[in-house]
Structure formats: C-alpha cells, structure tokens
A and B are shown apart, each in its own frame.
With several copies, the nearest count.
Chain A
Amino acid sequence: MTFPDVRDDFPLLTRTVRNGKPLVYLDSGATAQKPRAVLDAEREFNERHNGAVARGAHLLAEEATGLFEAARAEVAAFVGARADEIVWTENATAALNLVAGAIGNASAGIGGEESAAFRIGPGDEICVTEAEHHANLVPWQQLAVRTGATLRWIPVDDDGRLDLDRLDTVVTERTRVLAFTHASNITGVISPVETLVARAKEVGALTVLDGCQSVPHLPVDVAALDVDFMAFSGHKMLGPTGIGALFGRKALLDALPPAVFGGGAVKTVTMETTSWQEAPMRHEPGTQPVAQAVGMAAAARYLSALGMDAVAAHERELAAILREGVADIPGVRLLGPAWDSGATDVIGLAAVAVDGVHPHDVGQVLDDRGIAARVGHHCGQPLHRRLGVTGSTRASGHVYTTQDDARAFVEALATVPSFFGVSA
C-alpha cells in the first residue's frame, strides 16, 4: 500500500529556498506545515462567521459558538475523548502548565474543598522521566518548588528507553503525579504507556501524558491509553499556531480549580469571591482562539481522511530510511535505538551527533542544500546530557515528507565530516 502524495495540498512546500533550491522540509517535529484545507477553514470562519463565542444572542455569536463547539467535538473524537473532556489552550505547553498550575492552586487553597483531592505538599512526590521535553519537566519541577513536594524521575538507558527496572522504586505510594511523554522528540522512542499507567494506578497517582509527538503521527485513543490527562498542540498536527488542547477526564477537570482566571469561566463573581463553571468552560477564561480551534478541527479531519494507521505506516518507512541511513555514515551517531524493523516503539524521526562537528555547522551544510532540519538541544537538555552530547541535528517528517526527502537528508549528512575535515 503506498501512501498518497499529498504535497500539492501544502502551499508552502512549493516554494524554493537559498537560490532556487527546492525545499526539503524536515523540521515537522518542531512545527508542521499546513494544508490548504486548514487555512481555508480559518479564513472562512473569519470572513463569514466570526463573533463572540458563548456570549451573544445574535446570529454571528450563535454561528461562531456552533462552529467552536463542533471543532471541540471533532478534535475530541480524533483522540478518542468526549467533547466535554477537551480544554482549548494556547499550545501544549500551556496545557501541561494548566494541570501543574491548577494543582499548585489547589494546594494554595483555591477551589476549596471541591479541589482538596489535588492538594500536594512536603512528603508528596511528583514523577517525570529523564526523556521529557522542557515543557513536561519544568512545570513539575517548579510545582515542587512551589508546594514543597519532591521531584523524582525515571532514568533512561543508553538507547534513550526508560529504565523500567527503576519504575517501582521511583513511582511509589508517595507519588501523586506521573507525567511522561508519549514519544520522545529526540530519540523518537515511544513510552510503554500501559506499564506506566498500571503502576500509577497501583499507587493512586494521576497520569499526565505529553502527546505532542504522538497525536500528529500515530493513532491515539485516550480511552484505550487510560490516562487522566493528555496535552497536544495544533501546529504540530498540521493545524494553526496559537492553539493546543488538554484532554482530561471530566470528573477531574470539574474538580480541578482553574489555573488561569477570567471571564467566561465563572458562574458568580463578587468582589470577594468567585464560583466556577463546569469543565471545560472553567478552564477557558477570556476570548478563546476560536478561528484556530476551527483550523485545528480541519487538521484533525484532514489527518483522519488519510487514516492515522496509514500515516503511522508512512512515517515508519521514513524512520527506516533515516535511521538506517545515518547509521551507515562513519562518524555519525544516531541518538536513541538503532533501527530494528521489528521494534514498534520509534516514531519517524532521527536525531544525530556528528563527531567533531557542532550541530549548528551540520545544519548550515543541510540548509545550503535546501534541507530544513533542526539543530540544538530541542528543548531536551537533560536527555542530551544523559546521552553524552549537548545538542544534535534532527530530521523529522510528516504526511507530506517523501522518501526522497529522507534520502536527501542522509546524503547531505554524509558530506558533513569531510567538509569540516573530520573524516576518519
């Protein structure tokens, strides 16, 4: 089964770079390009239906509200959730901060008795992994500062896989939250969600999944994964910038106090006190990214039409070319596990370190050939440090990435050591 060539759906991919070279876009892990269907949906909203959501009795307000809530239902269905279990946020970072911030607020007395179950403090533990993006590490680290709880983490092995031998000693009865990534944006490794969730349930900890690198690339069903919360971003799944989403079990979202306060989220406000609406509204104060929600739903529709199983299979082929290809280049080290066609726990990207050549210099050589890759620590300083490097060069694909794109990366990378005079 061959995956359809969808490049024509993406206006940006037709442009040329650096003196007329065709663009080879391999930075989708950072941010994806957007199909015309997404741009049109946003524009159509702005040109025909824009109005204040959930607040007016006039026709435009009605239409805008209808489209906004329909978008919520669509994005919810895309990840196997109910509509009222999806909270819109600015991005995935904001979604993760929403959970951490709300727990901090509950611990400071906000939300009163209704939110008391979320209170944490000295003696409690928050657990993450060594493979986290800063967005799923720093909020928890600082929640620990704020509440006096202790941060612990599951280490990774030399291949970037979680060291499950340590699971039971790190996640214990003291653990209140276990936050972990679904797929690493550096090694590409997919976490053993089932094992981690089972352990969290055993000790009564909340689970928070970072779905940034899974939702755009794999079929994801929060009900099947059985997690309590999951964060993901619009812009990485072919949707607009300026929007992300938090999935949360309804009962938890209803009891969690707001992390951010304002209009539209409240029931009754006096100068002295405030009572909140139910979820998702209580977590959506202020004017929401409405056009962006409509665009994100269009992205979910676009991906669903392709079929997420087919998308995942397509990206597995890219992974094979990238990971096998770079492994053959002398002086190039692949971060994370070597390609193994039998293993199913790696997404379609490859991050590499070139002996003696700094990632910035690697990226420059690629860029000169029209190849857009990402260089640096990719917001994962601890994981890079654990793997013995300070940064890497990453190629990451999406539905529009061709096998030729992946091969172009491997070929260009092979020229790097000699260009910098460091060949073996």
Chain B
Amino acid sequence: MSSLEQMYQQVIMDHAREAHGRGLTDPGLIQVGQSHQVNTTCGDEVTLRVGLDGDRVASVSWEGQGCSISQASVSVLHDLVEDHTLAEAESAMDAFRDLMQAKGEGLDDDKEDLLGDATAFVGVGKYPARIKCAMLGWMAFKDALIQARKDES
C-alpha cells in the first residue's frame, strides 16, 4: 500500500462522501456549546455543536466544508463521541491526537480498539500539513465542550 493509499483508505473515502452528523441540529438541551474553527492554510471551516446531558455527550452536529480528510474526520468524531460519556469522549479525543502524532506508526491495540474506524487516519500522521485538516473538527469539539460546560457554572 503506497503512502497515498494508506492515507486515503476506503473508510476515509466513505466517511468523506457520506459524512455522519452533518447539518446543525437543535439538541433541545440546556447545556449546548458551539465552536467555529478555520484552517487558515486553506480557509476550510467547521462549525460544530455539542449538547450535553449530564455527563453524556447527547448530540454532536456540524456544518462545514473542507478536504476529504477534514470531512471524514468530523464524521468519525461524530460516531466516536455521540451517545458516549464525557470521559469516553475525552479518551477518544486523546487517542486521536496520539494517532496524529504517531508519524504513521499506529498505536497500541487498546487505543486502536478505542478508535475503531478512526484508526484509518493513521496515514495522515506522516503529513504535518494534513494533521491540521484531521484535527479541525476535534479542535471545534474541544472548544464546544468548553462552551457547553461554561453554562454549568
């Protein structure tokens, strides 16, 4: 498998073509956070909204445009964190960041199990410029969580 094929694995292509969670929805919850992030290299943007129900990530929806890596990444993010606990979501977030920093080498089995489909992004870690693309949605998610929890206090 060439580096290029390793980067654009079928899973990624599929998520890019049919992204999950696209289209901002009203979670109908009290704890809602939203974040808008821009990849300044190319102008790609994502707006992501999170609804929290206690310590559960009840809803993740987003809107945006970008390269296949950034779109597929938000899509798997949606699958990994929606309907999971905050703790699980944060573990997924950490594991994904580790994957990006692994320079294409992969992670230990525990973490890869945690990531599921998202391990397909392993090839992106070889390309520093593309890590930004893959992280765009996750940056928005992280920031949206902060916004949502602000309402707590």
B-side interface size class: 20 to 34
Contact assessment for B129 and A62 in the assembled complex, using a CB-CB cutoff below 8 Å: yes
> Which of A61, A65, A376 is in CB contact (< 8 Å) with B42?
A376
Contact assessment for A359 and B67 in the assembled complex, using a CB-CB cutoff below 8 Å: yes
Chain B residues with Cβ below 8 Å from A109 are: none
A303 to chain B, nearest CB (A): 28
Chain B residues with Cβ below 8 Å from A18 are: 3
Using a Cβ cutoff of 8 Å, how many contacts connect chains A and B? 70
A284 to chain B, nearest CB (A): 12
Most buried by A among B2, B17, B38, B40: B40
| Interchain residue pairs with CB less than 8 A apart (19) | A19-B3, A57-B129, A61-B129, A62-B127, A65-B129, A66-B128, A266-B40, A267-B40, A277-B40, A358-B42, A358-B44, A358-B68, A360-B130, A361-B8, A377-B43, A390-B42, A390-B44, A420-B8, A421-B13
Interface residues of A (CB under 8 A from B): 18-19, 54-57, 61-62, 65-66, 266-268, 277, 281, 357-361, 364-365, 368, 375-377, 381, 390-391, 419-421
Contact assessment for A420 and B65 in the assembled complex, using a CB-CB cutoff below 8 Å: no
Contact assessment for B67 and A358 in the assembled complex, using a CB-CB cutoff below 8 Å: yes
Closest 5 CB pairs of A and B: A358-B67, A360-B67, A368-B4, A376-B42, A57-B129
Majority secondary structure, A binding face: mixed
Chain B residues with Cβ below 8 Å from A364 are: 4, 7-8, 127, 130
Contact assessment for B43 and A381 in the assembled complex, using a CB-CB cutoff below 8 Å: yes
Contact assessment for B128 and A360 in the assembled complex, using a CB-CB cutoff below 8 Å: no
Return the chain B residue nearest A368 by Cβ: B4
Chain A residues with Cβ below 8 Å from B13 are: 420-421
Return the chain B residue nearest A381 by Cβ: B43
- Chain B, residues 119-131, CB within 8 Å of chain A (1/0): the string is 0000000011110
- Chain B, residues 54-84, CB within 8 Å of chain A (1/0): the string is 0000000000011111100000000000000
Contact assessment for B3 and A368 in the assembled complex, using a CB-CB cutoff below 8 Å: yes
Contact assessment for A56 and B4 in the assembled complex, using a CB-CB cutoff below 8 Å: no
Given contacts A18-B3, A377-B42, A391-B42, 9 further A-B contacts (CB under 8 A): A54-B41, A267-B38, A281-B40, A360-B66, A361-B68, A368-B2, A390-B44, A420-B68, A421-B17
Return the chain B residue nearest A385 by Cβ: B43
Chain B residues with Cβ below 8 Å from A357 are: 68
Decide: A365 near B4, CB < 8 A? Known: A57-B129, A281-B40.
Answer: yes
